[in-house]
Amino acid sequence: MAEKPASPSCFFFAASLVLLTLSSCLASPTPTPPSPSCLSGTLSNILYRNNNASFPTVLENYIRNARWNTTTTPKPSLIITPLQEADVQAAVLCAKRIGLQIRIRSGGHDYEGLSYVSRSQQPYFVLDMSNLRQITVDIGKQVATNATDLAVQWQQVAPTIDDRFFLRLLLLPSNKTVKASIVAFFLGGADEAVSILKKKFPLLGLEKQNCIEMSWIESAIWLNNPDDYKIGVKPEIILNRRLNTAGFLKRKSDYVQVPISKEALEGIAKKIIELGKVALVFNPYGGKMAEIPADATAFPHRAGNLFKIQYSVNWNDSSPAAAENFVNETRSLYSYMTPFVSKNPRSAFLNYRDLDIGINTFGKNSYEEGKVYGAKYFNGNFERLVKIKTAVDPDNFFRNEQSIPILPNNH
């Protein structure tokens, strides 16, 4: 409902291409003098200037949040759509030479539109990866019950239960009440799932007839939209790129490290009802997530986190007043949640991009500005990322409003 399960892997796929590109940059010994002629060679067939008739289509096809699709939204000067790795390298080197900023667009959520919108006022181009897409490579029950009791028990069960379970909890405003909904996924058969959950999560009241046994690929359809599964939508639907389809949305994130009490959950439920539209999605951690040390990869939110919260609101009204209202409401719920979530820093999930938590203007305080959001997304790994960034991209060519800054006095 609130996220597409396949997206995070696409996101990291994009990041690895960037690294690949970086290393080819470093390998090039002598910088060539500025010359836009680099655009007229092999790139010319995959390059859309902003006066090209196809430019709006190419831009809009992969806009996934309609908030960043207005006449006043900054637009790129060019879009380059690589067909092969060498095109990526040529585009990066050329853009660097002619002083054009880069934005890289691939899969993933990109809630804030950073892959195609730059707030920096500098000219930029979009490296659109949509043609580089070759990949080699249950069960459920919804209940409307006493939401807070269920959430109390869920917090004890979901982060610690058998690794084969993924139990997501949604708190959804629904006609002046809050509906708690559990999305349960088990890598195994229904009998075993029911017997484990009856013991560990009795309030769920799960019975075998609530379960559907299916293949893993079918579960991807079901997790995205149970109704699609019910009407027999086939896995091939995943190949549908759903070009140029987007509603309006806002997302934020939090991490919870201490169980939230029943009283506090009742307050949260009241607040959700009062706001009327913003929902919370609790994604359990623990399991494999907690086994990987916090400093083993850039991603730091490991052992000690019970679950991640996604704040989620979607709307279809294109007026600026509607956006302001829903964004305000999301911020208001986020503010209400302060006592119950991680502190110093208040951690955030990079893939639920949220520009509210800090923005870089790349002036002389770039490092300090970067530390504000960087410490939230990367905790103790931030300083190490700054060192790597400073070593591999000393000119800070690859940057966006929330990229890793370089060390001060680098030049």
Check if the beta carbon of residue 170 is closer than 8 Å to that of residue 1.
yes
Check if the beta carbon of residue 310 is closer than 8 Å to that of residue 254.
no
Closer residue to ligand NAG (CB): 98 or 322:
322
Q: Which stretch binds ligand NAG (CB under 6 A): 82-90, 91-99, 143-151, 290-298?
A: 143-151
* CA count, 13 A, side-chain hemisphere, 12: 6
Q: Which stretch binds ligand NAG (CB under 6 A): 117-125, 163-171, 227-235, 310-318?
A: 310-318
As a whole number of angstroms, the distance between CA 326 and CA 312 comes to 10
Q: Which stretch binds ligand NAG (CB under 6 A): 49-57, 289-297, 346-354, 387-395?
A: 49-57
Among 47, 90, 183, 289, binds ligand NAG (CB under 6 A): 47
Among 225, 325, 365, 396, binds ligand NAG (CB under 6 A): 325
Confirm or reject binding of residue 35 to ligand NAG (CB under 6 A).
no
As a whole number of angstroms, the distance between CA 311 and CA 333 comes to 8
Closer residue to ligand NAG (CB): 42 or 390:
42
Confirm or reject binding of residue 60 to ligand NAG (CB under 6 A).
yes
Closer residue to ligand NAG (CB): 190 or 204:
204
Closer residue to ligand NAG (CB): 137 or 227:
227
Check if the beta carbon of residue 354 is closer than 8 Å to that of residue 254.
no
As a whole number of angstroms, the distance between CA 269 and CA 5 comes to 26
As a whole number of angstroms, the distance between CA 109 and CA 377 comes to 16
Confirm or reject binding of residue 155 to ligand NAG (CB under 6 A).
no
- Nearest residue to 275 via CA among 326, 312, 322: 326
Confirm or reject binding of residue 53 to ligand NAG (CB under 6 A).
yes
Check if the beta carbon of residue 330 is closer than 8 Å to that of residue 311.
yes
Confirm or reject binding of residue 400 to ligand NAG (CB under 6 A).
no
Please name the residues in contact with 258: beta carbons below 8 A apart, sequence gap of 6 or more: 306, 340
Owner of token pair 């990949």 = 135
- Nearest residue to 249 via CA among 174, 324, 310, 312: 312
Among 1, 18, 203, 273, binds ligand NAG (CB under 6 A): 203
Confirm or reject binding of residue 142 to ligand NAG (CB under 6 A).
no
Check if the beta carbon of residue 305 is closer than 8 Å to that of residue 255.
yes
Closer residue to ligand NAG (CB): 196 or 275:
275
What's the closest the beta carbon of residue 243 comes to ligand NAG, in angstroms? 8
Among 16, 72, 316, 335, binds ligand NAG (CB under 6 A): 316
What's the closest the beta carbon of residue 314 comes to ligand NAG, in angstroms? 4
Closer residue to ligand NAG (CB): 38 or 404:
38
Residues numbered 229 to 288 that lie near ligand NAG (CB under 6 A) are 244, 246-247
Q: Which stretch binds ligand NAG (CB under 6 A): 39-47, 99-107, 218-226, 259-267?
A: 39-47
Q: Secondary structure of 194-247 in the HEC alphabet?
A: HHHHHHHCHHHCCCHHHECCCCHHHHHHHHHCHHHHHCCCCHHHHHCCCCCCCC
Confirm or reject binding of residue 218 to ligand NAG (CB under 6 A).
no
Closer residue to ligand NAG (CB): 177 or 361:
177
| Binding-site size, ligand NAG (CB under 6 A) | 26
Torsion on CA atoms 310, 315, 321, 326, rounded to nearest 10: -20
As a whole number of angstroms, the distance between CA 21 and CA 41 comes to 19
Q: Which residue is nearest to ligand NAG (CB)?
A: 146
Confirm or reject binding of residue 145 to ligand NAG (CB under 6 A).
yes
As a whole number of angstroms, the distance between CA 214 and CA 208 comes to 14
Check if the beta carbon of residue 253 is closer than 8 Å to that of residue 71.
no
Among 12, 299, 315, 362, binds ligand NAG (CB under 6 A): 315
**Residues near ligand NAG (CB under 6 A):** 45-48, 52-54, 60, 63, 66, 69, 145-146, 149-150, 175, 203, 244, 246-247, 314-316, 324-325, 328
